[in-house]
């Protein structure tokens, strides 16, 4: 049974019940009329039986009219009341068919139906934005994953075409570098997928300074190879967070600073401190190319690097591998699931100052 028919039956039933109640009231009043002829010496005065004989058929006629009015008026009113839902349903059907461009844009008074339509439109806006982002991400991921393997195939084809004229050491070094890049892209994609899956965080006490020190110790050989000097000022900073994700956040910030360091005497500084409001700040500053202000807001998008779609190599003593373009995107996601604030600023002389303000102990939302 449709909602329109149910509403129609409800309206008609209400009128029928109201009519029956009115009839009951009339018959109750008639109980006080004497049963028999009333002789007043004047004009004829009807008795109760006369009144009932005149009232009974008229009552059924009135009830029939009320039922017809209830059905007709109810059907019309139900159509008007449910028309906004029909518009929402029509848009929902088109969206279910794969078109996210339609919106309800319901007019009229600001009632519950309009609030529902606006909420539905807002949900579609978010869904469309999410799907567009996923499509862009998938296209970029396909490109990034295809590139290293295409390079490897090209190098191997050249080597197979002229095996005697190939520099084996150089070929192996380039194949290893390209293969590492492919592995990094896959690992970064898996990390992003894990964060986006919305799994509950396994929280534990984390010493941000100790975590940063471990990451620096681990990545120092890569920095030395790239000719980047790492310094640190690590103040105390304890938080309740996911140890794995915080370590990944610190590693990506430091790796990003190493990979995009183009100065001949490149440097990178890591600082941790507890702020007056209880938050713990992790700041990574590095030298590098000058970053245009309009580029800052795009750095946390997947596969966007500080110098565009193509990564840079260090111009220092060594060469740092080209990044996957997912470093700051991962940092932004990790900061987001910890309710942390991410601040990226371009240094006037080149490079970046990246600060993550992590909530102090007990301030992380338990549901996240």
The residue among 164 and 262 whose pLDDT is bigger is: 164
Maximum average pLDDT range among 169-173, 214-218, 312-316, 319-323: 214-218
> For residue 126, what are the contacts with CB-CB under 8 A and spacing of at least 6?
none
- The yes-or-no verdict on residue 325 having pLDDT over 70 is no
Average pLDDT of the residues in 361-368: 54
Residues in the chain: 368
Place of tokens 């461009």: 101
CATH architecture of 204-358: 2-Layer Sandwich (3.30)
Q: Which two tokens stand for residue 112?
A: 């519950």
pTM strictly above 0.85: no
25 vs 316: CA distance, rounded Å:
101
Give the start-to-end residue ranges of the domains of the chain: 3-102, 204-358
pLDDT of residue 41: 59
> For residue 292, what are the contacts with CB-CB under 8 A and spacing of at least 6?
346
- The yes-or-no verdict on residue 300 having pLDDT over 50 is yes
- The yes-or-no verdict on residue 315 having pLDDT over 50 is no
pLDDT-above-90 percentage for the chain:
14
Question: Which long-range CB contacts under 8 A does 117-125 form with residues at least 24 apart?
Answer: 117/84, 117/87, 117/88, 120/88, 120/91, 120/92, 124/91, 124/95, 124/100
Q: How do residues 175-234 score in pLDDT, each as one tens digit?
A: 887 787 677 667 666 666 666 555 556 788 999 999 999 889 888 888 888 889 999 999
Confidence band of 260 (pLDDT split at 50, 70, 90)? confident
Q: Comparing 3-7, 123-127, 306-310, which segment has the lowest mean pLDDT?
A: 306-310
Instruction: Give whole-number Cα distances, 313 to 90, 173, 228, 299, in Å.
Output: 54, 16, 12, 17
Burial label for 209, CB within 10 Å (0-12, 13-18, 19+), is buried
Average pLDDT of the residues in 352-360: 92
Maximum average pLDDT range among 84-88, 328-332, 335-339: 335-339
Confidence band of 368 (pLDDT split at 50, 70, 90)? very low
Q: How do residues 154-178 score in pLDDT, each as one tens digit?
A: 888 888 888 887 788 888 888 887 7
Q: Is 268 helix (H, G, I), strand (E, B) or coil?
A: strand
Average pLDDT of the residues in 247-253: 86
Pairing verdict, β 238-241 and 267-274: unpaired
């Amino acid at each position: 049974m449709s909602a329109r028919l149910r509403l129609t039956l409800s309206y008609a039933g209400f009128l029928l019940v109201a009519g029956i109640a009115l009839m009951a009231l009339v018959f109750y009043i008639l109980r006080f009329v004497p049963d028999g002829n009333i002789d007043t010496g004047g004009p004829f005065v009807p008795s109760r039986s006369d009144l009932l004989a005149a009232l009974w058929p008229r009552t059924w006629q009135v009830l029939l009219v009320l039922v017809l009015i209830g059905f007709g008026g109810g059907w019309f009113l139900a159509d008007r009341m449910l028309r906004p839902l029909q518009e929402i349903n029509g848009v929902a059907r088109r969206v279910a068919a794969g078109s996210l461009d339609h919106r309800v844009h319901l007019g009229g008074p600001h009632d519950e139906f309009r609030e529902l339509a606006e909420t539905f439109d807002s949900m579609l806006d978010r869904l469309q934005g999410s799907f567009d982002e996923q499509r862009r991400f998938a296209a970029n991921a396909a490109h990034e994953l295809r590139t290293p393997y295409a390079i490897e195939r090209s190098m191997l084809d050249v080597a197979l075409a002229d095996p005697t004229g190939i520099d084996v050491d150089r070929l192996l070094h380039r194949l290893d570098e390209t293969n590492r890049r492919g592995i990094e892209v896959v690992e970064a994609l898996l990390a992003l997928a894990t964060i986006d899956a919305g799994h509950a965080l396994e929280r534990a006490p984390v010493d941000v300074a100790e975590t940063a020190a471990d990451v620096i110790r681990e990545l120092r050989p890569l920095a030395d190879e790239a000719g980047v000097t790492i310094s640190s000022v690590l103040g105390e900073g304890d938080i309740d967070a996911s140890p794995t994700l915080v370590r990944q956040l610190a590693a990506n910030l430091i790796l990003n600073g190493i990979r995009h360091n183009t100065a001949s005497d490149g440097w990178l500084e890591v600082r941790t401190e507890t702020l007056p409001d209880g938050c713990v700040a992790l700041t990574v500053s590095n030298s590098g190319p000058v970053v245009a202000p309009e580029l800052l807001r795009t750095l946390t998008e997947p596969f966007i690097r500080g110098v565009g779609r193509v990564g840079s190599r260090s111009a220092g003593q060594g060469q740092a591998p080209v990044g996957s373009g997912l470093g700051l995107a991962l940092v932004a996601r990790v900061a987001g699931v910890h309710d942390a604030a991410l601040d990226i600023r371009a240094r006037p002389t080149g490079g970046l100052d990246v600060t993550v303000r992590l909530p102090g102990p007990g301030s992380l939302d338990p549901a996240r």
